[in-house]
Amino acid sequence: MAQTDEDDPLSWARDYTPILAAYQAEYGETTPLDGYTIAFASHLETKSGVAIETLHEAGADVLFAPSEPQSTHGPVVDALDAREGITAFAWEGMTDDEFDNAQHELLEEEPDFILDDGCELIAKVHAEHPDVAANVIGGGEQTTAGITRLEAMEAEDVLQFPVYGVNDTPMKHFFDNVHGTGESSLTNIAITSNSIIAGKDIVVCGYGYCGRGIANKARELGGKTIVTEVDPRKALQAHMNGHRVMDMDEAAEAGDLFISATGNRDVIRAEHFERMDDGVILANSGHFDVELDLDGLEELAEKTTTPKEGVTRYHMPDGRRLNLLAEGRLVNLTGPYSQGHPAEVMDTTFAMMFVAAYDMLVDDPELEPGLYNIPDRLDREVASMKLETLGLSTEKMIESQRAYGEEWEHPDSSF
């Protein structure tokens, strides 16, 4: 088991990831993943570091690469790469080209299993390393944007191996997307801009899991929230939850702070930038840096300046200044002060990623190529472990309750 000391960049995160610690203790003894090489792509910081060492403790050789060029923490990469059986294809401050090349170099090492974030490695292995893809046993995908790409691959019938859609399991999206993204996005926006949430008109684009977390938490901090949506049911849900609902044209004129979390592209574009007030703040929490049309913003501006680290100010010819955080990349992971999600949340996300690898490699459900949900019993097991680590207990159903759920005539009912 890895040592915890002051020089160890993972020690703090390890204290807040008790499920991963339990896996390390249990599987460090039995090493069920011995003989397998697992590729791991993620934002490379302390919590993903603990996930990588957990796979390694369980016996796997681990090859890891970033899922975003700007979110890598150098000390974490160096500490992991120094261990035998763990290889980094990453360093802090990579360019987009270096990021791309490193992922190809990793795939040339022919991993048996791929744990992915944004479908970066899985898409590349299919498109450019078909011989490697042919021998991959399976994969797991951690985020919504990656599931969207996998669904497109499945629709085209090109997937060569089975993939668990880890994002779609309740123990991932109810906690990571809602609470993790919600808290860490607002925290990093506040720190990067050194401005207050309370009293601001805050436009949240998208009311899915992430947008819901951001909007609800912003309102709890005193923000006056506005939601934009393309799905009428989500828009209605936002309305019933007490947010103002508008189209983007109207919201552009009303907002002080804009946060996009749609998984889509060109959500805020030139016609919207033209309507915004002087001094607005723009941020993105979606996986790719295409939610804000940055080329459009660049074309409108007569110059850009950097008034503060992590802030790019676009000066409009009419004197308005629009302030973009973290270059439009994930604001909770790539800003100068960003550390990503709280460790307690990533404990469950990475537990589900671990379970995905364990189930396919060790229990071997013999799945055909395709995109699959994680079996519900595994999701429940992780939920129970998390509750146990928190010292919380649940009710156990008694026999009459179990039987009540199975009968339809309800003979004892008085109406």
From CA 371, how far away is CA 168, in angstroms rounded?
Answer: 11
* Minimum CB–partner distance for residue 111 and ligand NAI (Å): 22
Whole-number Å distance between alpha carbons of 322 and 101: 34
Binders in 376-405 for ligand NAI, by CB under 6 A? none
The single residue among 208, 255, 310, 335 that binds ligand NAI, judged by CB under 6 A, is 208
| Residue located via tokens 């191996």 | 161
What binding mask, one character per residue, do residues 107-146 give for ligand NAI by CB under 6 A, x or -? ------------------------------------xxx-
Known binding residue 205? Answer is no
CB 356 within 8 A of CB 166: yes
**Shorter beta-carbon distance to ligand NAI: residue 161 or 207:** 207
User: Could you report how far apart the first and last alpha carbons of the chain are, in Å?
Assistant: 61
| Nearer to ligand NAI among residue 59 and residue 310 (C-beta) | 310
332 is in an annotated binding site: yes
- The yes or no reply on residue 347 touching ligand NAI (CB under 6 A) is no
Q: Which residues contact 3 (CB under 8 A, 6 or more apart)?
A: none
Does 258 interact with ligand NAI (rule: CB under 6 A)?
no
Q: How far is the CB of 85 from ligand NAI (least distance, A)?
A: 28
Beta strand extents in 285-361 (DSSP E only): 303-308, 311-315, 321-325
Binding of ligand NAI by 55 (CB under 6 A): no
143-162 positions binding ligand NAI, by CB under 6 A: 143-145
Question: Is 139 assigned a ligand-binding role in the annotation?
Answer: no
Assess contact for 146 and 117: CB atoms under 8 A: yes
Among 11, 241, 264, 389, binds ligand NAI (CB under 6 A): 264
Q: Nearest residue by C-beta to ligand NAI?
A: 208
Q: How far is CA 39 from CA 10, 136, 144, 382, in A?
A: 20, 10, 19, 22
Per CB under 6 A, does 255 bind ligand NAI?
no
Of the pair 89, 209, the CB lying nearest ligand NAI is at 209
In this structure, the strands spanning 37-42 and 113-116 are parallel
CA distance 37 to 337: 33
Q: Report the alpha-carbon distance of residue 6 to residue 200 in Å, rounded.
A: 40
- Dihedral sign (CA 115, 121, 122, 126): negative
Output the CA torsion sign for 62, 63, 68, 69: positive
Does the annotation flag 213 for ligand binding? yes
Of 285, 297, 295, 288, the closest CA to residue 265 belongs to 288
Size of the site for ligand NAI (CB under 6 A): 30
Among 129, 234, 239, 321, binds ligand NAI (CB under 6 A): 234
Taking the complex as a whole, the smallest distance from the CB of residue 355 to ligand NAI amounts, in Å, to: 18
Q: Which of 206, 255, 328, 335 is the binder for ligand NAI (CB under 6 A)? A: 206
Residue 153 or 361 having the CB closest to ligand NAI: 153
Residue 24 found at the interface with ligand NAI (CB under 6 A): no
How near is the Cβ of 340 to ligand NAI at its closest, in Å?
Answer: 6
335 near ligand NAI (CB under 6 A): no
User: Which span sits near ligand NAI by CB under 6 A: 7-15, 216-224, 281-289, 303-311?
Assistant: 281-289
229 annotated ligand binder: yes
What's CA 331's distance to the chain center, in Å? 12
211 annotated binding-site participant:
yes
Q: Tell me: is residue 341 an annotated ligand-binding position.
A: yes
**DSSP-derived secondary structure for 198-209:** TT-EEEEE--SH
User: What is d(CA 365, CA 164) in angstroms, rounded to the nearest whole number?
Assistant: 12
Classified as helix, coil or strand, 286 is coil
Using rule CB under 6 A, residue 261 touches ligand NAI: yes
Q: Choose one: 173-181, 237-245, 318-326, 406-414; the region binding ligand NAI (CB under 6 A).
A: 173-181
DSSP 207-255: -SHHHHHHHHHHHHTT-EEEEE-SSHHHHHHHHHTT-EE--HHHHHHH-
| Binding site feature residues for NAD(+) | 208-213, 229, 285-287, 332, 341
| Binding site feature residues | 208-213, 229, 285-287, 332, 341
Residues near ligand NAI (CB under 6 A) = 143-145, 173, 176-177, 181, 205-211, 228-231, 234, 261-264, 267, 285-287, 330, 332-333
